Chain A
Amino acid sequence: MRVSGKAMERDVFYTSCICNCGSNSQCVFKAHVEDGRVVAVEPDDRFNTGIGREDAVLSEEEIVKVRLQRRPCPKGLVFYRYLYHPDRILYPLKREPGSRRGDGRYARISWDEALSTIADKMVAIRKAYGPYSIISPFSYSPGSQGLMRLFSFWGAGTCDWGWSSYDATKLMSHLIVGSPGWNYAEYYSGSASDMLANAKLIVLWGYDPTLGTNGPAYQFAWFIKLAREKGVPVIIIDPRYTIAAEVLADQWIPIKPGTDTAMFMAMAHVLFKEELWDKSFVETHVEPLGAAKWRDYIQGKEDGIEKTPEWAEKICAVPAATIRELTRMVARTKPSWLWSHWAVSRKSHGEQAVRAFAALQAFLGYWGIPGAGPSLNIGPKRNIPVKASWGPAGGYQIPAMFRSHLWAQAVLLLKKVRSGELSEQEYRRIVGWRTDPALVKAFNPKMLFMEGSGRKPHAPDILVTATETPREQIAALQEMEFTVVTHSMMTPTVQYADIILPVQDWMWEEQNIASSGYGGFECINFCPGIVKPPGEVKPATWIFVKLAEKLGVDPVKFFKYYTTDENWKKDWERYQRDCYQSAVDYYRKQGIAVPAWEEFSRGQFINCDELAEKPFVGWDDQIRGGKPFHTASGKIEFFSQYLADESKRDSGAHKDHAGKINANLPGNWGDLTAQPVYQPPVRGMSDPMVAVYPLMLLSPHPRYRTHYLFWDHPWLKDHVYRHRVWLNVADADARGIKDDDMVRIYNDRGTVQLPAYVTSRVMPGIVVIHHGGRYLPDPAGVDVGGSPSTLLGGDVASCVTAAKTTTLVQVERVRELST
């Protein structure tokens, strides 16, 4: 017998995947390395070695404790092959003289020339245009620590606010429980382990964990399936018959997109009408005036409209009888795990869906009890520290000016403001101005510095993942005198840079701690940086240390671990060890020993779920422990006194009662109401614009990309998945379209051309193009790559904070593809 293939003797390391997919750092590989190159990976084998079907050999308790392999998804399994992609940027590059931004013609330059040029330009632009002349779209992201920190020492520069994933959730979390997000354990709602151990009924709204990764790969989906296998009924409410609807659910209930709030309100109506609500919970934990007011509103005492199931069924297309029965069922089957995650909030008026769902669950008494919990977020829930300070920041307070989603508007509309065509007040409303209103006059954006791949690798590529159209964003890019991008790949946005700085991949080429992540699972892993970085790519932090030096900022003040370039790796390791030590200390205080650095850095990890006494339950301390919420009343608040007070509108950054800035509330909060109400989605299925553009476009997350990342990965696209537009059979037939026909999808914003996927898996009147497709305009301006951003954008009036991922379009057949 001849055995060929991988020898088992080569260097093998454990490492973790951090591709910002929604799993973030929980998947683990055993990587096989030869001469600094990864040649193959195996999935995690640190538990249950050699077992395929792990649950067949484990007790439920062991599963709930997550004594499980962290198996990667297909993206992770072939991530390492991407490191050697021909579009990888290997050297600092300068746009060739005579070429235009977007042409993609570059010449190699030295690091010294690149950094000197950037520093000189920053100084010149600041001198000519003042301190608010450098922008960095999506600078609010944690990945932008480098540039923002540099600004704080340098004394100039701007940032923006908001991020595309969770803004509506963060805003509502701040208003409802007084916890503004990431840094507060009170932001997190529940865990998959708690669901599996305790839920008696599972209802999912627009949530498909078989597509987006939550926890290691699709582990969340697996946990739901395990719950179903032990007899817990699962219902999915979604306009698509998703893979989750097929595999995880007993029953699928279609709902019109963007109308979830109406259904939540009708369910609340049933609770009140049939006296099914949890009075003692509400009395104890919900701010009483707001609770009473919302009850009145639902029962029609405020506007004369009772929010009955009959009222709701016309809006959301779920029959009234079903809404009624479902409400009774979730009220009586205690506890019921009702879950929406972020999809329902990434729509026009998405804030309302978050808040109405949270309110409904408060009236059900489903906050802070095992097996239930409203979905504000699933995240790094115990908030175990894995960090070390870089040293104090500089004294300059960077103003958070505009909404990140609207960065191009913020640039382009200034001309109209200066010419008097647009009032400053209207400008502030449109762009979501969040700082001193007087600063509009001093805002003079002339340089764009994008950390496309900062400490988080491969951050969203703004042209195709923001919600403004690429056309508008390119126009804004062309307004700049100077553009810089740090990145690892030649993406659509990168080609608009004057200088490109190539960044190391931080999970393969750099030592990093991969701590926790989303998904209701929690663990801390280590990436040993086993791959030899190609060309002259550099760590993101190093780039900003050196740029700081060029700008006259002490590099040691910028990053206190820095000594010399030669010592970079050692300095970085000292920093990593200190980060790790903070987690060790956290556990030591509880009398729990965790692996020493030497073991940790060789693949042993901290399995936080295993170390915890019981599965994480959101707001346990408040509900069962009696601790007050951070709100003014100390209770859950569904009526915002702040938003009810018109005098605060358009007055710059808003602070809560405790003096914390509400980071996700723009100065002018548009039509956001003080309590949860249903507002029809702008460009939704009942918008008058359907007369022209009758189909509603959804752009859910893709299964095989993280935003744009992996778009051109030859092992994924057109290999195990393809990028097509989903079309219902009735809509296809009415247009003479068969599966795989080439079609055009268009509206007043732009035109996209893609093959059609004709299916019954999406309801009629709806088309789907997954998020993060490449923007690739042909000479006529038709986007033949298929970025949904080409069709989105613009609807500022309908989104205070929510990223809008839907719009209206028309579809027509182009030509038949030969297969």
Chain B
Amino acid sequence: MTQYGFFFDQSRCIGCSGCTVACKQWHDIAPGPVKWMRVYQWEKGLFPDTRVYMLAIPCLHCENPVCARACPNNAIYKEDKYGAVLLDREKCDGSRKCLQACPYGAPQFAGDDPGLKMSKCDMCLDRLEAGLKPICVLSCSMRALEFDTLEKLVEKFGNVRRLEDMPPEKITRPSVVFKAADPKKQIVPMDYLKALKLWQKRENPDNGVLPDVFRSADDVLQASPQIIGRHKLELKPKNSAALMYYTTDDE
């Protein structure tokens, strides 16, 4: 078996979900929480260090698929040509043991009702067999994705196997290579605290003093992250509604 896998360039992903919808229309999956390819956005830091990170994540077709071991019915297996982790839907009884085991939230369910069968990314096996790459990879307008043998991916893009905020990869050995988001730098010197003070005041020479934009800089600099939307990477949301919340964009 040759293990195939994905490359994801976080420094390029704009979080547009093009991969998600390309996948869903190709595989004819109805709108709703079944997203074989999911795009997460999460916000970290407060002004002026605000960052927003993106992660497009299908099933990572682990070399050690813990989901398969967790399945009481042996419905999940590792296919032997590409190393895809596949589901035999007939055997699935909807126990969701796979979802409990998978640290990446790859097994997908159409809702929260018990007994619903799982479905998941199948590496676009139909396309692979026709000599084509997965539809998500070819749909990315930022060219942030690639698909190849894991060996070639590592050779081309390095051996980063986990992004910050993702779960450890040692046990699962996911078939994926990453490039992390770029660091920020000051091209032009900028005193951001001074900028914030300027922002606080309203300039109006003709009309006297207007109320400040905010009370104190601390309100901006030390706000509680708890009130911020999507302030963490939640790969395993507690239910379908939460999954939609974490994989839905606000643009």
Task: Report A's interface with B, CB cutoff 8 A.
Answer: 1, 3-6, 8, 39-43, 45, 50, 52-56, 69, 71-74, 77-78, 80-81, 201, 210-211, 216-219, 221-222, 225, 228, 233-235, 241, 243-244, 246-247, 250-254, 256, 313-315, 317-319, 321-322, 325-326, 329, 680, 685-688, 690-691, 694, 702-704, 714-716, 718-722, 724, 726, 728-734, 737-740, 757-761, 763-765, 770, 819
Given A685-B202, A739-B229, A758-B228, decide whether A729 and B16 contact each other with a Cβ distance below 8 A.
Answer: no
Interface membership of chain B positions 127-142, coded 1 if the CB is closer than 8 angstroms to chain A and 0 otherwise: 1011111010111111
In the complex, number of A-B residue pairs with CB atoms less than 8 Å apart: 294
Contact of B214 among A1, A235, A722, A765 (CB under 8 A): A765
Number of interface residues of B (CB under 8 A): 99
Q: Do B132 and A734 touch (CB < 8 A)? A: no
Q: State A322–B189 Cα separation when bound (angstroms).
A: 6
| B210 touches A (CB below 8 Å) | yes
Q: State A186–B210 Cα separation when bound (angstroms).
A: 44
| B13 touches A (CB below 8 Å) | yes
A-B contact pairs, 14 of them (CB 8 A): A42-B26, A72-B141, A77-B21, A77-B139, A246-B51, A247-B142, A250-B182, A251-B188, A319-B195, A688-B210, A730-B214, A730-B219, A732-B227, A763-B47
Nearest CB of A to B239, in Å: 9
Q: Do B139 and A235 touch (CB < 8 A)? A: no
Q: Do B227 and A40 touch (CB < 8 A)? A: no
Residues of chain B lying within 8 A (CB to CB) of residue A680: 204
Q: Do B141 and A690 touch (CB < 8 A)? A: no
Q: Do B17 and A733 touch (CB < 8 A)? A: no
Q: Do B213 and A719 touch (CB < 8 A)? A: no
Q: State A260–B92 Cα separation when bound (angstroms).
A: 59
Residues of chain B lying within 8 A (CB to CB) of residue A728: 220
| B72 touches A (CB below 8 Å) | no
Question: Which residue of chain A lies nearest to B223 when distances are taken between CB atoms in the complex?
Answer: A729
Nearest CB of A to B246, in Å: 10
Q: Do A317 and B198 touch (CB < 8 A)? A: yes
Q: Do A718 and B11 touch (CB < 8 A)? A: no
Residues of chain B lying within 8 A (CB to CB) of residue A758: 227-229
Q: State A704–B125 Cα separation when bound (angstroms).
A: 29
Q: State A222–B18 Cα separation when bound (angstroms).
A: 14
Interface membership of chain B positions 236-251, coded 1 if the CB is closer than 8 angstroms to chain A and 0 otherwise: 0000011011011111
Q: Do B223 and A733 touch (CB < 8 A)? A: yes
Q: Do B137 and A319 touch (CB < 8 A)? A: no
Question: Which residue of chain A lies nearest to B27 when distances are taken between CB atoms in the complex?
Answer: A5
Q: Which B21-52 residues have a C-beta within 8 angstroms of A?
A: 21-22, 24-28, 31-32, 39, 43, 45-48, 50-52
Interface membership of chain B positions 95-126, coded 1 if the CB is closer than 8 angstroms to chain A and 0 otherwise: 00000000000000000000000000000111
Q: Do B31 and A715 touch (CB < 8 A)? A: yes
Residues of chain A lying within 8 A (CB to CB) of residue B129: 3
Q: Do B26 and A6 touch (CB < 8 A)? A: yes
Q: Do A326 and B188 touch (CB < 8 A)? A: yes
Q: Do B228 and A688 touch (CB < 8 A)? A: no
Q: Do B47 and A760 touch (CB < 8 A)? A: yes
Q: State A719–B17 Cα separation when bound (angstroms).
A: 10
Q: Do B186 and A251 touch (CB < 8 A)? A: yes
Q: Do A222 and B141 touch (CB < 8 A)? A: yes
Given A680-B204, A738-B226, decide whether A210 and B14 contact each other with a Cβ distance below 8 A.
Answer: yes
Q: Do A329 and B31 touch (CB < 8 A)? A: no
Q: State A687–B15 Cα separation when bound (angstroms).
A: 36
Q: State A6–B125 Cα separation when bound (angstroms).
A: 10
Question: Which residue of chain A lies nearest to B80 when distances are taken between CB atoms in the complex?
Answer: A1
Q: State A683–B207 Cα separation when bound (angstroms).
A: 14
Q: Do A222 and B142 touch (CB < 8 A)? A: yes
Question: Which residue of chain A lies nearest to B131 when distances are taken between CB atoms in the complex?
Answer: A50
Binds A, one of B62-70, B143-151, B158-166, B167-175: B143-151
Q: State A45–B11 Cα separation when bound (angstroms).
A: 24
Residues of chain B lying within 8 A (CB to CB) of residue A5: 26-27, 124-127
Residues of chain A lying within 8 A (CB to CB) of residue B203: 314-315, 686
Additional 4 contacts, C-beta under 8 A, given A71-B140, A319-B191: A53-B9, A219-B141, A251-B185, A702-B251
Given A688-B204, A691-B210, decide whether A235 and B188 contact each other with a Cβ distance below 8 A.
Answer: yes
Nearest CB of A to B79, in Å: 6
Most buried by B among A222, A322, A764: A764
Contact of B251 among A3, A721, A765, A819 (CB under 8 A): A721
Residues of chain A lying within 8 A (CB to CB) of residue B215: 730, 734
Q: State A252–B190 Cα separation when bound (angstroms).
A: 10
Q: State A760–B54 Cα separation when bound (angstroms).
A: 16
Q: Do A819 and B245 touch (CB < 8 A)? A: yes
Contact of B187 among A45, A50, A250 (CB under 8 A): A250
Question: Which residue of chain B lies nearest to A739 when distances are taken between CB atoms in the complex?
Answer: B229
Q: Do A53 and B138 touch (CB < 8 A)? A: no
Residues of chain B lying within 8 A (CB to CB) of residue A687: 204
Contact of B50 among A704, A724, A761 (CB under 8 A): A761
Contact of A53 among B7, B18, B31, B47 (CB under 8 A): B7
Nearest CB of A to B109, in Å: 16
Q: Do A77 and B187 touch (CB < 8 A)? A: no
Nearest CB of A to B233, in Å: 15
Nearest CB of B to A798, in Å: 15
Question: Which residue of chain A lies nearest to B9 when distances are taken between CB atoms in the complex?
Answer: A53
Residues of chain B lying within 8 A (CB to CB) of residue A45: 138
Question: Which residue of chain B lies nearest to A256 when distances are taken between CB atoms in the complex?
Answer: B199
Q: State A644–B54 Cα separation when bound (angstroms).
A: 51
Q: Do B185 and A250 touch (CB < 8 A)? A: yes
Q: Do A218 and B142 touch (CB < 8 A)? A: yes
Q: Do B50 and A760 touch (CB < 8 A)? A: yes
Question: Which residue of chain B lies nearest to A731 when distances are taken between CB atoms in the complex?
Answer: B214
Q: Do A43 and B22 touch (CB < 8 A)? A: yes
Q: Do B248 and A819 touch (CB < 8 A)? A: no
Q: State A535–B97 Cα separation when bound (angstroms).
A: 48
Q: State A318–B188 Cα separation when bound (angstroms).
A: 12
Residues of chain A lying within 8 A (CB to CB) of residue B125: 1, 3, 5
Q: State A219–B140 Cα separation when bound (angstroms).
A: 10
Q: Do A733 and B190 touch (CB < 8 A)? A: no
Residues of chain B lying within 8 A (CB to CB) of residue A322: 188-191, 195
Q: Do A729 and B143 touch (CB < 8 A)? A: no
Residues of chain A lying within 8 A (CB to CB) of residue B16: 73-74, 210, 218, 703
Question: Which residue of chain B lies nearest to A220 when distances are taken between CB atoms in the complex?
Answer: B141
Q: Do B17 and A71 touch (CB < 8 A)? A: no
Q: State A241–B186 Cα separation when bound (angstroms).
A: 15
Q: Do A74 and B211 touch (CB < 8 A)? A: no
Q: Do B141 and A1 touch (CB < 8 A)? A: no
Q: Do A235 and B204 touch (CB < 8 A)? A: no
Q: Do B251 and A764 touch (CB < 8 A)? A: no
Nearest CB of A to B5, in Å: 12
Q: Do A325 and B188 touch (CB < 8 A)? A: yes
Nearest CB of B to A736, in Å: 9
Q: State A702–B251 Cα separation when bound (angstroms).
A: 6
Nearest CB of A to B117, in Å: 15
Q: Do B219 and A724 touch (CB < 8 A)? A: no
Given A243-B52, A703-B251, A759-B229, decide whether A733 and B224 contact each other with a Cβ distance below 8 A.
Answer: yes
Residues of chain B lying within 8 A (CB to CB) of residue A42: 26, 135, 138
Question: Which residue of chain B lies nearest to A202 when distances are taken between CB atoms in the complex?
Answer: B187
Q: State A54–B45 Cα separation when bound (angstroms).
A: 33
Given A219-B141, A685-B213, decide whether A720 and B17 contact each other with a Cβ distance below 8 A.
Answer: yes
Q: State A201–B188 Cα separation when bound (angstroms).
A: 11
